[in-house]
Amino acid sequence: MGKRVIWTKRDPTDRAKAGRKRIRAEVAHFIESSTNEGSGRGGRVKVGHDGLIYVPSVADGTVEVFALQPNQTLALLHTIHTGMPLDNISPDARGDLWVPGFPDTRQTMKDMAGPYNEISPATVFRIRKMMSAEQEDKLEYEVKKVIEDKEVGVINRATTVVHDFKSRRLFLGGAVALFIVICEPR
């Protein structure tokens, strides 16, 4: 049995902070065996082609960017804001990060509980690392909403998105998705 955590405060940010501390500890534990492409271990945590560690948050809609230090600790370099809860992050061959978002969290939670009775909207973000014009060592990221299907006309239950750089197609699937969606470029 795992440790049981009892929350003494009702503030949801306390729960998010505790979760982030746990994720940071998990990252520090597995990072030595990860490759630059990401090993898939640690759930939503990925190592980008740049060697940085990306941790998306379903709690506050951010992606935290970490660097592994020589003493095996993590240094928070940047926080990327998207404006909605996020799930599994996936780097493509170019180094762009692709991440699904949940525009209606309540509906997504209902859908996860009853996947045959409910549907949930989905969004896909591309996060691109930009070079800073002022400072070379400063991290900047461009967040672009590539797809949003609020009416759930095509995309449903997307918790993972993968971009094939050569064909420019997006592949979307999910933990309780009944099918995979393939998006062709325009």
pTM of the model: 0.70
| Count of domains for the chain | 1
- Residue 97, Cβ neighbours under 10 Å: how many? 25
Token pair 């009892």 is found at 6
Per-residue pLDDT averaged across 47-69, rounded? 89
Domain-embedded: residue 47: yes
> What is the extent of the structural domain holding 179?
12-183
139: DSSP letter? E
- Residue 71's pLDDT band, with cuts at 50, 70 and 90, is confident
The larger pLDDT score, comparing residue 88 to residue 30, is at 88
Residue 7 lies inside a defined structural domain of this protein: no
User: Residue 2: inside a domain, yes or no?
Assistant: no
CATH code of the domain covering residue 131? 2.120.10.30
In a domain, residue 21? The reply is yes
Residue 4 within any structural domain of the chain = no
93 versus 39: which is more confidently predicted? 93
pLDDT tens-digit readout, 75-110: 999 999 999 988 889 999 999 999 998 876 666 666
* 175 domain residue, yes or no: yes
Q: Note the pLDDT of residue 97.
A: 95
